[in-house]
A and B are shown apart, each in its own frame.
Chain A
Amino acid sequence: MAEPFIRIESIVKQYVRDTQVLTVLDGLSLSVEEGDFVALMGPSGSGKTTLLNLIAGIDKPTSGRIAVGKSEVSSMSEAALARYRSENIGFIFQLYNLVPVLTAFENVELPLLLTKMSRAQRRKQVELALSIVGLADRMDHYPRQLSGGQEQRVAIARAIATDPKVLVADEPTGDLDAKSGEEILILLERLNDEFKKTIVMVTHDPRAASRAHRLVHLDKGVLKEDIRAEGREVGLEAARSAVVS
């Protein structure tokens, strides 16, 4: 069998505040196959966001190794990390984090400004991304003219604009009502299914987690449970039990 796509080996992440050392991730190891859809669950403060940030290359581990595809993320320089993020990672945040002064089109175009694409190529790519999320008709709208669900879809379009291999999502439905959340989950499933994106999604919501193929449960910086779906999805029952335990 080939090497897993995302390889996390005994990472430790500590924060030093004054004289106190806070160990957020404590020797955690985890592998994710290419094309997988992983839900990260766990109580608040268990280190989910921290782990996600490490995979995404916006944070560095205190020790241990992180590799994604051919990239040795944990030993990269700052500039190399910036390039790694722009080429390999799509980000989806709980609060969408669109730039308010830019239109939907311009927001999605942002990551493309870092590529060598021509204006025309960028336009094509933005239009494609926006049509995938079903908002081709809202290109010229500003974030404040969109609903939360629509904003999150624009954010997803921004995340996929450069066609990255990995999508990381930190509570993508956390700020949405059930219906909009459901739309986002369907969209993520489709990106995983149809576009073969590897997805790592942090969530508190068992219903969101139930859609993943794998459920990883963190507690106090260590891996507590790792459930693989027998069928297509892990299912609600498993997800619920993960929250309870």
Chain B
Amino acid sequence: MKLIPLAFKNILRKKTRSILTMASIVLPLFVICILGTMIRTLEADPTGGKGMFRLIVRHKVSLANFFPEAYREPVKQMPGVAAITILNWFGGQYIDNQPRNMFQRFAVEPESFLAVADEITIVEGTAQDWTSDRRGVLVGSLLAKRYGWKIGDQFVLKGDIFPVNLELTVRAIFKAPDETSVYFNRTYVEESVPWAKGLVGTLWIKADSPDAVARLTRMIDERFENTPYPTKTETEKEFQNGFISMLGNVKLVLNAISLAIGLVILLIAANTMAMTARERVTEIAVLRTLGFPKSDILTMVLAESLILALIGGGLGLAFFSLMFPGFRQGLLESPMGGFAAGMKLFPEVLIVGFLITLAIGLAAGLVPAFRSAQREITDGLRQVA
């Protein structure tokens, strides 16, 4: 420990090299933090944990297949079902097909919908306003902000799966972990598209206990197994994960990129440490000659590596924390708005960033530190600097 002050001074010895090494940690760490935030956002449950208690029933083949509305009654009677509603993916387009105008549109059964989607809080208008207007629409506050929608405003959704143009009136605005969806009455769709009558895309169930979740998953699928419309029941969480894995395993890719970046930083830092240690062979031999034990040398070289990494890493994390709000704001106004809404300055991302820095500092310094400590004093002195 006595040589730690010397470790600090050594970093100042070749300032340019130290600064370059630190810079080579700052920027990649910034990128790793962004990737980590994306991964965490993908993993995060937009229902805030409630998704664990909720089930989604869909056609066994795919989300594009429908099944009869009549399934609802028998399911509703099953023990453990606290609430059940109908949720149909509408698709369609708003204004145009531009990515920035993409958001989720659902045709639902308003009366039962709010009982299941209990993370939704209506902040403008009332539930009554919405359920009583067949052409009413409930919109997320983030979307309302993006499009400047106020209560009473009207807009049109052009259907594609369902060939109908819906003329909707904003009746209520909600706050929830995910505020990038709109919900309207499926009756309106059924009236205009006769073939859609009596068909549902998914049933959405709130279970009354974790036990019920497991039991219901099995019971429901068994009940409809040998019908023309077999079902697949998943927890909402699984359903979303399945959705994410459909997106070409984004998470895996992001993780791989982070890992690669981490390894590059490690190589750069390790190279710097190897260079520093090599330049100081004689000096280290002199310290040992004076009586400093091997452990002090080991600590000194490791400390130097750690200091270098931690300063670089600390700057990277600070830089990320400072830039994050602006970065998120930028994304909110882009096609990734829905995704950005879920983004936060996750503490775990900062912690992992710090741990990566620590690991890089240790790993980069370990080999030079051991070599420096183990080298015979006479060999070190013989080496002409």
Contact = CB atoms under 8 A, between A and B. Distances in A.
A82 B6 contact: no
A37 interface: no
B13 A86 contact: no
Contact of A58 (B3, B289, B294, B385): B289
A85 B292 CA distance: 9
A111 B290 contact: yes
B283 interface: yes
Contact of A97 (B13, B283, B378): B283
Given A100-B13, A101-B12, A111 B291 contact: yes
A113 B381 CA distance: 21
Interface string A85-102: 111000101010101111
B289 A85 contact: yes
Nearest to A99: B283
Contact of B291 (A53, A99, A101, A114): A114
Given A58-B377, A114-B291, A102 B9 contact: yes
Interface in A28-87: 53, 56, 58-59, 78-79, 82-83, 85-87
Contact of B286 (A78, A86, A93): A93
B6 A101 contact: yes
Nearest to B11: A101
Interface in A90-130: 91, 93, 95, 97, 99-102, 110-111, 113-114
Contacts of A111: 290-291
A97 B285 CA distance: 10
A114 B378 contact: no
A56 B376 CA distance: 14
Interface in A182-220: none
A158 B13 CA distance: 22
A83 B13 contact: no
Nearest to B280: A99
Interface string B277-302: 00000110011111111100000000
A158 B385 CA distance: 20
B10 interface: yes
B286 A114 contact: no
Chain A binding surface SS class: helix
Nearest to B286: A97
Interface string B45-58: 00000000000000
Contacts of B286: 91, 93, 97, 99
Given A101-B6, A113-B2, A82 B293 contact: yes
Given A53-B378, A97-B282, A101-B12, A114 B6 contact: no
A83 B291 contact: yes
Nearest to B382: A49
Nearest to A79: B293
Contacts of B6: 99, 101-102
Given A97-B283, A101-B13, A56 B292 contact: no
A245 to B, nearest CB: 28
Contacts of A79: 293
> Most chain-A CB neighbours within 10 Å: which of B6, B291, B294, B381?
B291
A100 B286 CA distance: 12
Interface string B246-262: 00000000000000000
A113 B13 CA distance: 22
A102 B291 CA distance: 18
A100 B9 CA distance: 10
B290 A85 contact: yes
B119 to A, nearest CB: 59
Contacts of B10: 101
Contacts of B381: 53, 58, 93
Nearest to B10: A101
A59 B376 CA distance: 8
Given A101-B6, A101-B10, A114-B2, A59 B377 contact: yes
Contacts of B12: 101
A58 B291 CA distance: 9
B9 A91 contact: no
Given A99-B6, A113-B2, A82 B291 contact: yes
Which 10 A-B residue pairs are closest in the complex by CB-CB distance?
A86-B291, A101-B9, A58-B377, A113-B2, A97-B286, A85-B291, A111-B290, A82-B291, A59-B378, A114-B291
19 contacts: A53-B381, A58-B288, A78-B294, A82-B288, A85-B291, A91-B290, A95-B384, A97-B282, A97-B286, A100-B13, A101-B9, A101-B12, A101-B13, A102-B9, A111-B290, A111-B291, A113-B2, A114-B290, A158-B290
Given A82-B293, A86-B290, A99-B6, 10 more contacts: A53-B377, A53-B381, A58-B381, A82-B291, A85-B290, A86-B291, A100-B13, A101-B9, A114-B291, A158-B290
